[in-house]
Amino acid sequence: MRGLVQIPVWHSLFEAWSGERALYCGYKSLTTMDIPFAQDCVGDQFLLRDGKVVRLYAETDEVEPLELDLDTFFSLAVEDPDGFLSVEPLRQLQAQGGEIEPGELVSVFPPYVLKHDAEYSFRAVSVADRLSFLADLARQIRELPDGQEVRIRLTE
């Protein structure tokens, strides 16, 4: 859940919605009218669009209409957080002895969108770094056809 605060920036609804790094700036599928009120542990976004909740898959810039109002969203999140909010990557990180702190998300490598034979690795990274990576990944693969081979070059 994002808050109606200015700081910390990683928790600010204002920053995610209309700030310097507003989410709509990095994703073609989003508009200035989409209200990014929450995110899951890997950086997928939940937004309010025309009174209904939609989910942005941040790796691919795809939006899924959930056909839920805000009250129903919160009820489902409380009733089944593991299933509804996809916390499996967090559980995997914890199983490896890691944890996340406030202001961090789980980085998953290789990204889920890429077909591969490697084991996934999980680590905690800052919200800003994770969201920046996801928007850049989505931008780079947005126009690629399904099955296109890609290579990821890691830099520091």
CB 28 within 8 A of CB 61: yes
Residue-wise pLDDT for 10-64, tens only, equals: 999 999 999 999 999 999 999 999 999 999 999 999 999 999 999 999 999 999 9
Structural domain boundaries in the chain: 9-141
* pTM for the full predicted model: 0.92
Residue-wise pLDDT for 76-86, tens only, equals: 999 999 889 98
